[in-house]
Structure 1
Amino acid sequence: MSLLEIAQLTGGYGETDILNGIDLTVEQGEILTVAGTNGAGKSTLAKAVMGLLPRASGRIALDGTDILAEPVERRLALGIAYVPQVGNVFASLSVLENLQVVQGVRDAKARIAELLDAFPALSERRRARAGSLSGGERQQLAFARALMARPRLMILDEPTAALAPARVADSFERIRALPALGVSVLMVEQRARQALSVSDRGCILDGGKVAMLGAAAGLLADERAAALYLGRAGGA
């Protein structure tokens, strides 16, 4: 059984459908990258899985249980974490306070200590306001906050979008390490080649539908994928 199963997912905003019948799975311990051109429905898909899309129909199942009608809070409790592209930390709170405000965490103090050990840059700046962090440090804090509740699935929406180019490779290496922490990953990313290089599988959306799906290495080697969606080797 797949950890996450999406079947015939349709939805959008108002009366306009952005997603047009998506079938997709995420397996336990897997990193799946969702790529595609602007407007293909990538971020809309991430929001639908998290329960943030105003209108959705079809099936979204976690461990075989349909969660399509469940509110965001229930999906969080079931083990889904979401790191949006923007607004992913509380800028006016300190690093430590950003972690402390996460609710329902077993042994919260010990968990915070674990995460500060895992993110040394945050440990050094635990008293600093999140708004004063660099883009890379802020992203680390967003990841740490998402990991506080020990999720089984993390949804990352454009995780490298606000990073300086020098920090992008570091970010992908952190994402590559997430399955070792017991976390599967559904990642939406414009830097498709770099994202696929740390992924197990990839999905390319076009017009709100799955245009290509397969092993990440296969998509990277696919001439059609390169020509239409990924750009040539050496590009973003």
Structure 2
Amino acid sequence: MSLLAIEHLTGGYGETDILNGIDLTVEAGEILTVAGTNGAGKSTLARAVMGLLPRVAGRVALDGRDILAEPVERRLALGIAYVPQVGNVFASLSVIENLQVVQGVRDARARIDELLAAFPALAERRRARAGSLSGGERQQLAFARALMARPRLMILDEPTAALAPARIAESFARIRGLPALGVSVLMVEQRARQALAISDRGCILDGGRVAMLGPATTLLADERAAALYLGRAAGA
């Protein structure tokens, strides 16, 4: 049984469908990258899985349990974490306060200590306001907040979008290490080649539908994928 199973998913905003019948799975211990051109439905898919899309139909199942009708709070409690592209930390709160406000965490103080040890840059700035952090530090805080509740699935929406070029490889390395922590990843990312390079499988959306799906290495080597969606590799 897949950790996450999406079946015949449709939906969007107002009367306009952005998703047009998506079937997709995420397996336990897997990183799955969702790529595609602008407007393909990538971020809309992430929001639908998290319960943030105003109109949606089909099936979203976690461990075989349909959660399509569950509110965001219940999905969080069931083990899904979400890191949006923007608004992913409380800018007016300190680093430590951003972690303390996460609800329902067992042994919260010990968990905060674990995460500060895992993110030493945050430990050094634990009393600093989140709004004063660099882009890379802010992303680390967003990751730490998402990890507070020990999720089984993390949804990442454009995790490298606001990062300086020097921090992008560091971010992908951090994401690659999430399965070792027991966290599967559904990642939406514009830097498709770099994302697929650390992924197990990839999915390419086009017009709100799955255009291509398969092992990440296969998609990276696919001429059609390169021509239409991924761009050519450097030197190709």
Partners of 1:13 and 1:85 in 2: CA distance: 19
- Aligned partner of 2:207 in structure 1 is 207
Alignment gaps of 5+ in structure 1: none
Q: Deviations over 1:48-101 (max 9, x none)?
A: 000000000000000000000000000000000000000000000000000000
Q: CA deviation at 1:122?
A: 0.3
Partners of 1:222 and 1:137 in 2: CA distance: 35
Q: Does 1:111 align with 2:147?
A: no
Give runs of aligned pairs for residues 116-195 of structure 1, distance below 5 A.
116-195=116-195
Q: Deviations over 1:135-179 (max 9, x none)?
A: 000000000000000000000000000000110000000000000
- Aligned partner of 1:221 in structure 2 is 221
Partners of 2:104 and 2:84 in 1: CA distance: 21
Partners of 2:103 and 2:230 in 1: CA distance: 39
- Aligned partner of 1:73 in structure 2 is 73
Aligned to 1:60, the other structure's residue is in SS state strand
Q: Does 1:93 align with 2:96?
A: no
Amino acid of the structure 2 residue aligned with 1:215: P
Partners of 1:143 and 1:29 in 2: CA distance: 17
Partners of 1:231 and 1:119 in 2: CA distance: 33
- Aligned partner of 2:45 in structure 1 is 45
Partners of 1:129 and 1:107 in 2: CA distance: 24
Return the TM-score normalized by structure 2. 0.99
Give the paired residue count: 235
Partners of 2:232 and 2:168 in 1: CA distance: 19
Q: Which runs of 4+ in 1 moved over 4 A?
A: none
